Every structure is written in structure tokens, then in C-alpha cells.
Amino acid sequence: MMGLVILFIGSSLYSQSITQKEAREIFQQTVSALNNYDTASFISLWHLDDSKPWFNWNREYDKSDIIQEFKNLQSFLVVPLVKELPFERIEITEMGPGFLNTYKIKAYFKIDNHLQLGYGFLTDYVGSRWAIRWHGETTVSPNN
């Protein structure tokens, strides 16, 4: 019986799927932090631990990296932030077994009829919440 309970708990931890609503909340909190120059709120969206991201195996990802991410994202998203543009769409991609995180979420803004900007994060379900892991990702692409 105890083995079944442990098996059930273990399998339920890995079956957690991020929803569109949960992804949208992360992006709304991100935009709010960027608009209010609130690095503390931005940092609170992350999960920091002793793991090392794939792009830099020599050191841990820390608060200084997140603050740099904050500054870069504020610059990249200046037009959507100033114009208070709504999200055009949100994508959720389940990552494969070779990745250290569970999902990549990405939000896009329609800048005009020809251009869209997107930004995204790697996410994991940690400590009863969805948290961002490591660096973000930005995209500039034609608006189809």
C-alpha cells in the first residue's frame, strides 16, 4: 500500500501541466514589474537553486543575472510597454527529457502589421508554483 502511495505522489508531481491562464499570469506579472521598475517582484518570479544552466555550466544562475535580464527585457519591450499593447498570443512548449526544465512559455506582441516581438521563459513547477528558470528568450519576427 505504501508503495502505491509513493508511486501516486511521484507520478502526480511530473504530470503538472502549465495552463494558458498560468502562463498569462506570469507574463502579466512580468509586464507589471517592468512597468513599475520593480526588480524585487521580477526576481520573485524565478526559482534559484544550485543548478547550472546549459549555456554556462561553470557557474550558477543568480540574482545578478536576473537583474540583467530585467534591464534587457525593459529595453527590448520598450514599444509594447509604452504603448501598453496587449498580448497577441501565448505559446506553451513542453520540453523533452534532455532539458533541465519542463516548459517554455512565450508571449508575443503585435507591434504593427509587419512586426511582432516575443519573449519567453523556461519554467518548472517548484514549491507549489510555476517559476522561471535561468535566462529568458526574445524574438523579433514578421507579423503573419
End-to-end CA distance of the chain: 55
Q: Rounded to two decimals, what is the model's pTM?
A: 0.79
- Please state, in angstroms and rounded to a whole number, the distance separating the CA atoms of residues 77 and 91: 18
- Domains in the chain: ranges and CATH: 18-142 (3.10.450)
Q: What is the tens place of the pLDDT at every residue in 36-76? A: 999 999 999 988 776 555 555 566 777 888 899 999 999 99
Average the pLDDT over each of 5-9, 19-23, 26-30, 112-116 and give the range with the smallest value.
5-9
Q: What is the tens place of the pLDDT at every residue in 97-107? A: 666 668 889 99
CA distances 88 to 70, 109, 116, Å, are: 21, 5, 9
Q: What is the tens place of the pLDDT at every residue in 5-17? A: 433 333 334 457 8
> Is residue 142 scored above 70 in pLDDT?
yes
Whole-number average pLDDT of the chain: 81
Q: What is the signed CA dihedral for 136, 56, 133, 30, rounded to 10 degrees? A: -30
